[in-house]
Amino acid sequence: MKLLVTGACGFIGSQYVRTVRELRPDDQIVVLDKLTYAGRRENLEGVDCELIVGSIDDPQIVREAMEGCDAVVNFAAESHVDRSIKAQYDFCRTHVLGTAVLLDAVRELGVERYLQVSTDEVYGSILDGSFTEQSPLDPSSPYSATKAAGDLLVSAHVTTYKIDAVICRGSNNYGPRQHPEKLIPLTILNALHGDPIPVYGDGRQVRNWLFVEDFCRAIDLALREGRPGEAYNVGGPDECENLEVVRRVLELTGRDESLIEHVRDRPGHDRRYSLSSQKIREELGWEPQVRFDEGIARTVAWYRDNRWWWEPIRRGEYREYYERHYGRPLKSATSA
Ligand code: NAD
Ligand code: TYD
């Protein structure tokens, strides 16, 4: 099989390429990535694949990259809710226009299978129970609204043009190579540096944590065996309040809770996400293999052992973003 994987220089896509390499060493993999602030060539270092640098909203480069591919897996995205609240156009361009360009090329080139990587955030917040694939889409942020628009475009193309497409909606992922703008890596790196950990509002928001390797196995299973036109929810095995997550990381890094600093809440902050994964479990036999206790210990160990990966990030654009967003500077990279 020849696969086009978009956005694979980011966190989840780079793990997905590794997963495919392990499961099917003979597959050919082409990566199309714009290399935004979140995309790095280093994420695919030593991994056998071809990298094309370009945007999924560019029809010409998309056609060149997709030529001869049997399947497309679309990870390309702007992935941070807080950034979408400050400036939304890149989210609209990549999630809506980018998805449309990919779908046009899938149709024109007769690609056999398309998989859209999506998120639990398209369903919005749920205080009790869990969302199923039948739940209505009710997104809260520009990030999730544009992801929902991408999902709807995929479904519309299944209905109108009879393309063979599947959508995978994952809950909050964590693991190696996640950009430190997100809660878990931010907490790990701030804890290692003895920097305060900014917790939004009361910190009692709930997320359903999914180890990145488990999500990638689910995506690959859905790509190969999912029913055409279907969406599959992929939730993690454990849900946790943000404060519990932060406390766990503080324990693992040998820091105490005095580092926790409650800061102004995120506007429109979703209180709880929860997915029912019954469909993918029953239809495709997927099960998460990594519980939160194990995954978080592995993640902390990875960041501790891979300074080479995060030091340049903390010296670059992220430093300015952090200061703008949190109103205080990051401690210098050398103090960890
Ligand atoms: P990420 O921000 O780490 O990586 C995104 C990648 O997409 C980067 O390499 C970036 O350079 C690339 N990119 C951005 N715009 C592009 C464009 N126009 N053309 C080509 N490449 C582009 O994101 P991630 O956390 O790895 O998320 C990947 C996908 O998984 C996204 O679609 C996201 O919505 C979805 N998702 C993420 C989570 C999570 O917890 N991180 C959970 C569920 C679903
Ligand atoms: P995040 O990692 O941004 O993922 P998402 O918004 O997609 O769930 O945030 C996870 C949770 O952590 C969310 O409830 C917001 C909260 N959070 C903080 O409390 N402080 C922070 O500095 C960040 C980035 C997130």
* Domain coordinates in residue numbering, the chain: 2-174+210-234
Report whether residue 124 contacts ligand 1, using a CB cutoff of 6 Å.
no
Report whether residue 40 contacts ligand 1, using a CB cutoff of 6 Å.
no
CATH 3.40.50.720 fits 2-174+210-234, yes or no: yes
pLDDT digits (tens, 9 = 90+) for 36-95: 999 999 999 999 999 999 999 999 999 999 999 999 999 999 999 999 999 999 999 999
pLDDT, position 57 = 98
What is the pLDDT averaged over residues 124-148?
98
pLDDT, position 331 = 82
Active site residues: 120-121, 143
- Give dist(CA 182, CA 185) in Å, integer: 6
332/82: higher pLDDT: 82
- Give dist(CA 189, CA 113) in Å, integer: 39
Site to probe by mutation for ligand 2, drawn from 140, 182, 208 as the one with most ligand atoms within 8 Å of Cβ, is: 182
Burial 139-150 (b: 16+ CB within 10 A, else e): bbbbbbbbbbbb
Angle between helical axes of 212-225 and 11-23 (0-180°, round to 10): 60
Q: How far is the CA of 226 from the centre of ligand 2 (A)?
A: 30
pLDDT digits (tens, 9 = 90+) for 297-326: 999 999 999 999 999 999 999 999 999 999
pLDDT digits (tens, 9 = 90+) for 7-43: 999 999 999 999 999 999 999 999 999 999 999 999 9
- Taking alpha carbons only, the member of 164, 292, 281 closest to residue 239 is 292
What is the pLDDT averaged over residues 158-177?
98
Please give the helix or strand (H or E) that residue 310 lies within, else none: helix 307-315
Report whether residue 170 contacts ligand 1, using a CB cutoff of 6 Å.
yes
Would you say how long the chain is, in residues?
336
Strands 238-241 vs 206-211: parallel, antiparallel or unpaired: antiparallel
* CB-based contact 154:114 (threshold 8 Å): yes
pLDDT, position 333 = 55
Tokens at residue 180, please? 């430190």
C-alpha dist (Å) from residue 291 to 6, 174, 176, 212, 275: 28, 12, 15, 11, 16
pLDDT, position 135 = 98
Give strand ranges (E) for 97-172.
113-119, 165-170
Report whether residue 183 contacts ligand 2, using a CB cutoff of 6 Å.
yes
C-alpha dist (Å) from residue 170 to 123, 128, 179, 231: 11, 18, 17, 11
Angle between helical axes of 242-252 and 292-305 (0-180°, round to 10): 50
Tokens at residue 30, please? 């082409």
Task: Note the pTM of the prediction, 2 decimals.
Answer: 0.98
